[in-house]
Homo-oligomer: A and B are copies of this chain.
Amino acid sequence: MTTHSRTVFFISDGTGITAETFGNAVLAQFEMKPRHVRLPFTDTVDKAHQAVRQINHTAELEGVRPIVFTTLANMDVLEVIETGCKGMLLDMFGTFVRPLEIELAVKSNHRIGRFSDVSKSKEYNDRIAAIDFSLQHDDGQSNRDLEGADVILVGVSRSGKTPTSLYLAMQHGLKAANYPLIPEDFDRRQLPPALIPHRKKIFGLTIQPERLSEIRNERRPNSRYASLENCRHEVSEAEAMMRRAGIRWLSTTTKSIEEIATTILQELRPERLVY
């Protein structure tokens, strides 16, 4: 058996994002690179039979049984797959929903997916408004309505402000503005004036000069902007400024957007999200 020839199926009656997020986290515990097959919107018995045929065909071709992660709220669909599929079934809902029914002393509602009609959801509309806000306040483009921001990220160019702001807006519905720290600020030895009234909401991103120079060189090879000397200077000025202003900050050098965002949320503890 070679672990490379394994196929992993993710079957859901919704988008399958939960199945895949969770399945990937479980599979990350093993040294293998399986082939991924996604079967979202498997919400009818017909589609369930189709999925079973595809899984069993793969099992025959590969000579090992595929791994099948399911998040199915529709019991008819689940039954077809449980009965017919020759894969190793990891039924994520069944495993946890049944014990919870007992604990909570209520029946589950078998609702499909996390999203019902989003046009009627205030939470969803707030999320879209947050994305709009973050785009309009990207890279210091606008000082308007900074009072409305949940968080304002600052840092030198290419320290990770833009992707982090968009992630905070998209995944957590936070209005995240971001502001570059530039040589004029360093000369003045002060935060950009528009930010001073909002100091409590500011969070700084910094980065190792070597890594910053690498990233900037991809954009503008051999420029002064990307030179290690200039990166060292900017980072040291930015860190000194944040220290003087009493701003919390973290280094993004080895961190993913998700890790940066989680750390910021823990530090800022916005009222809307309980920590």
A108 surroundings in chain B (CB, below 8 A): 29-30
A124 an interface residue at 8 Å Cβ cutoff?
yes
Please, which residues of chain B bring their CB within 8 A of the CB of A106?
A: 3, 30-32
Given contacts A100-B67, A162-B131, contact A105 B1 (CB under 8 A): yes
Report how far A258 CA is from B103 CA in the complex, Å.
Answer: 31
Interface residue A36 (Cβ < 8 Å from any Cβ of B): yes
Q: Does A88 belong to the interface (CB within 8 Å)? A: yes
Indicate if the CB atoms of B115 and A256 lie closer than 8 Å.
Answer: yes
Most buried by B among A1, A40, A263: A40
Does A166 contact B162, Cβ atoms closer than 8 Å? no
| Residue A61 interfacial (CB < 8 Å) | no
How many interface residues does A have (CB within 8 Å)?
80
User: Shortest beta-carbon distance, A131 to chain B, in Å?
Assistant: 5
Residues of B within 8 A of A254 (CB): 117-119
Known: A18-B25, A21-B21, A258-B17. A100 touches B275 (CB 8 A): no
Q: Do A96 and B262 touch across chains, with their CB atoms under 8 A apart?
A: no
Q: Interface of A with B (CB < 8 Å)?
A: 1, 3, 6, 14-18, 21-22, 24-32, 35-38, 40-41, 65, 67, 71, 73, 88, 90, 92-93, 95-97, 99-100, 103-106, 108-111, 113-115, 117-119, 124, 128, 131-132, 135, 138, 162-163, 166-167, 170, 211, 214, 253-259, 261-263, 265-266, 273-275
Apart from A15-B259, A29-B97, A29-B108, 10 more pairs, CB < 8 Å: A17-B21, A22-B22, A26-B100, A28-B111, A30-B108, A38-B266, A65-B103, A67-B103, A113-B259, A114-B256
